Structure 1
C-alpha cells in the first residue's frame, strides 16, 4: 500500500540518520529533505523553497520565546539558595506523615516543577539537596532514589512546562489551556506517590528512621517562611497568565524578572550567577528550538506525502475502537521512550498521531497531557532515561539499580495514565475556567 511504502521510507531514513549518531535536528532535516525528494518526487528547487518558508515560519513563532526565559529562570534558581530552602521549608511539614522526609522528594519536585518547566532541572536541583540529606539520616536508599526519579518527571507536566509549550506550538492549541490541564494530573501523581511511600513505610517502619524531635508551630512558620519565595514565583507566573495580564510567553519574562528581584532581595544576586545561568539557558534553548524547527520541516514533508490522511483512512478501515487505538499508541510510546527523550518523541510522532487521535474523538488538549505523561514515563526507562542518568551521577549507583528503584513509581504513573484515560475530566475539568 502507498501509505505503508511512504512510511517505510520515512522510518528507514530516520533510523539510518539517527543510527549514525547525527544530531537530532540535523537528522530530522535530512529525513524531511530526503523523503520529499523520494516520496513526492518534488524537484530540489521546490524542496528548497518549502524548507526556507517552513524554517522561517516555525523559528519566528512568538510562543517559542517562553522557552529560553523559563529555562533561564530555572537555572538562576538552581544556582541560588532558593532551591536549598525547599528542603528546609518542607521538612517540618512532613514529620507527621509515615515516611517523613521521603515526602520532601515528592513535594519538593512538585513545587520546583511549578517554577522550572524542566524535568532534568527539577530532578537535578531537588536531588542535589535531598539525596545526601536522606542518606545521612539512614532513609531507605531505594525508596529515596525511586521517589526522586518518579517525582522529578513532574517538571514536564506541572506548568509552566517547556514540553507543553512545544506541544501547543506544534498542535496549534491553547498553551494556557494545556498549562491548566496539567495541574490536576500532576497533583494526582504527587498524591499517588506520597500514598505509596506511606503504605511502604507503615508496612516496614525501618524504611524511614524515627523523627529527630517534635515539630512545633515555630518550626512550621519558619518552614513557610523558607517556602515563601517559591510560592511568590508560582503565584506571579501562573497568576499573570490566568488573570489575563500576560500570555504564557510574557509570563516567562515576568518569572525571570521576579526571580532576579527575589534573589537580589535575599542578597544572593551575583553577576557570575546570571552569566552562568544565561550561558546554560542559551545552550539548552538552542538545542530545543533547532529540534522544533527541524520537526516543523519534517511535519510539512509528511503532510506533502499525504501520509497522515492516508494513515487515518487505513486505521479507520481496521475498525479499531478509540481505546484500542490509544492502547496501541501507549505501547508505541513506551517503546520509543526506551531510546528517545520526550521532546524528540513529540516532535517526531505528533504529525502522524494527532490526526488519528482527533479522528478517534479524543480532545487534543487531553491528548497533550496524555503525551506528556508518556514522555514522563520515558524519563524513567533505560537505556535512555534522563532522570536515571541524573540520579546515577548524583548517587554513584549503577544505572540498573537506579532503574529498579524507579520501577514501582513507573507503574504508579502508568496507573495514573489509565485513570485519566477512563476519566478524561481529570484533565479537562479546569480548562473550562480558561
Structure 2
C-alpha cells in the first residue's frame, strides 16, 4: 500500500501548488525536488540540471517550435478567408450547408497548425460572421466549431503528439501517420452529425441555399491549392521517408513564409509578431516538458512507477478495464488542465501501466489525444470554449451545451479506435515497410 500513499502525497502536493497559482512547470519541479529530498538519497541539484538540460537540448524537440512558428505565420495570413471561399461552393448543397465549412476548414487548418486553440480562432474568425449573416442556428454553428477545433490536436503536425513522442522516446513521424486516419474519421463523424441535425431541425435552417456554377466551384478551389500543396509537402515528405519531422517542419515554415508573401500579408510587423508568438508558446511548452521529465526522473528514483505497475498487475485488471478507468481519469483531469499539461503530468505514472498491459505506445498516443480532445470542450477549463466565448459573445454554458453532442461522438470515436486499433496503426506500419 506504500505506493498508494506515495501517489496521494505527490498528487496532493501538485494540486495544492497548482491551486496556488504557481506555473505548471514550476509546480512539477517543486514536487520532484520535495519527493527526491524526502524519499531518496540522490543529489537533487545535479539531477535537476542534467535532466532539464538533456530535455531542452533534444534534437527531436526542434520540430516543436518550427511547427508552432508555421502555425503563427499562417494565422496572420488570409488563410481563413480563403478556406471559406474555397470550400463554400462545394459544401453549400449538403444538408447543413455552410456549417460544413467549420468541420472541413478546421481539419485543413489543423493539418498546418497543430494547435486546437489556433484552429478554432482562425476558422471561427471568418466563419462566425459569415454564418451568422446567413442566419444559421447558433447552436449548430458554435457546437460544430468547438468540436472540430479539437482536430488541431490530432491531425498532424500535432504539437501534443510531438510532446508525447519526446516523452515516451518514440518516433514522432509514426505518431503523425497514426493520427491521420482517426482524424479523418472524426471529421466525417462531425459532418454526419451536422447533416442529421439539419435534417431533424429543418425549420431552424436558412430557407435559401446559395447556388454555385461548376466554373465558380473550380475558381473557388484555387483558393485551396496553396494550403493543400503545403499540407501535402509537409506530410508527404515524412510519409515517404524523405524528411524527418524536424526537416518537414523547416519545409513547412519556408512554405508558410512564401504563402504569406504571395498573399501580401508578410511584412516586418507580421513577421515579428509570428516569431514572438512562436517563441512564447514554444518556451512555455518546453518549460512544462522539462518539469515533466524531472518529475518522471524523481518518481523513477522513488520506485513509484514500477510499484504502481506491479500493484495494477496484481489487481488483475483487464486491459480494457484499465482503458476505461484512464478515459474517465483524463476527462476529469482535462476539466482543470489544458491537454499538454494533462499529458506531461501523467505520463511518468501512466507509461509503465500501459506497457505492462501490453498496449502499443503509438496506438495509445492516438487514444490519449482523442480523450484529451474531449477535455478541450468540457467546462470549466475547456480551452476551445474560452476561445469561442470571446469570439461569439455567448456564455460558457450555451457553448458547452452546443458542443456536448460532439463530445459524445468523440467517446464513440475512442470506442471505435479501441475495437479497431488498425485505424491508427495501419499507416505507421505501412510507412515502416516503405522505409525498410
TM-score by length of 1: 0.97
- Contact 2:78–2:263 (CA<8 Å) still a contact in 1? no
1:177 equivalent in structure 2: 174
1:388 equivalent in structure 2: 385
Deviations 1:293-322 (A, max 9, x none): 110000101111111110111111111111
Give the Cα separation in 1 of the matches to 2:347 and 2:226: 37
Structure 1, unmatched stretches of 5+, are none
2:225 equivalent in structure 1: 228
- Contact 2:89–2:211 (CA<8 Å) still a contact in 1? no
Give the Cα separation in 1 of the matches to 2:322 and 2:5: 21
- Contact 1:6–1:39 (CA<8 Å) still a contact in 2? no
The reply to whether residue 10 of structure 1 matches residue 10 of structure 2 is yes
Match for 2:267 among 266, 270, 282?
Answer: 270
Deviations 1:118-166 (A, max 9, x none): 1011010001111111111000100110000000000000000000000
The reply to whether residue 205 of structure 1 matches residue 206 of structure 2 is no
SS of structure 1 residue aligned to 2:317 = coil
The reply to whether residue 304 of structure 1 matches residue 285 of structure 2 is no
Give the Cα separation in 2 of the matches to 1:277 and 1:204: 42
- Contact 1:77–1:83 (CA<8 Å) still a contact in 2? no
**Does 242-251 or 144-153 show the bigger shift?**
242-251
Match for 2:423 among 399, 420, 426?
Answer: 426
1:106 equivalent in structure 2: 103
**Does 141-150 or 208-217 show the bigger shift?**
208-217
**Does 238-247 or 397-406 show the bigger shift?**
238-247
- Contact 2:299–2:305 (CA<8 Å) still a contact in 1? yes
Match for 1:57 among 34, 38, 54?
Answer: 54
- Contact 1:9–1:35 (CA<8 Å) still a contact in 2? no
The reply to whether residue 353 of structure 1 matches residue 350 of structure 2 is yes
The reply to whether residue 34 of structure 1 matches residue 34 of structure 2 is yes
Give the Cα separation in 2 of the matches to 1:356 and 1:378: 22
Give the Cα separation in 2 of the matches to 1:393 and 1:11: 32
Deviations 1:377-415 (A, max 9, x none): 110110000000000000011111111111111011111
Give the Cα separation in 2 of the matches to 1:125 and 1:213: 24
Give the Cα separation in 2 of the matches to 1:9 and 1:81: 50
Deviations 1:237-269 (A, max 9, x none): 112212222110111111010111122223332
1:92 equivalent in structure 2: 89
SS of structure 2 residue aligned to 1:182 = helix
- Contact 2:92–2:210 (CA<8 Å) still a contact in 1? no
SS of structure 2 residue aligned to 1:226 = coil
Aligned residue pairs total 431
Compute the displacement of 1:115 (Å): 0.4
Deviations 1:205-247 (A, max 9, x none): 2333144442211111112101011101101111221222211
Structure 2, unmatched stretches of 5+, are 432-436
Match for 2:369 among 367, 372, 386?
Answer: 372
Where do 1:59-208 residues align within 5 Å? 59-208=56-205
Give the Cα separation in 1 of the matches to 2:121 and 2:254: 23
Deviations 1:320-365 (A, max 9, x none): 1110011001111111011011001110111111111111111100
SS of structure 1 residue aligned to 2:186 = helix
- Contact 2:389–2:396 (CA<8 Å) still a contact in 1? yes
TM-score by length of 2: 0.97
- Contact 2:120–2:149 (CA<8 Å) still a contact in 1? yes
Give the Cα separation in 1 of the matches to 2:139 and 2:210: 25
Give the Cα separation in 2 of the matches to 1:195 and 1:428: 24
Give the Cα separation in 2 of the matches to 1:251 and 1:207: 45
Compute the displacement of 1:54 (Å): 0.6
Deviations 1:13-65 (A, max 9, x none): 1012111110111111101101111122x26xx11111111111111011111
Give the Cα separation in 1 of the matches to 2:262 and 2:391: 30
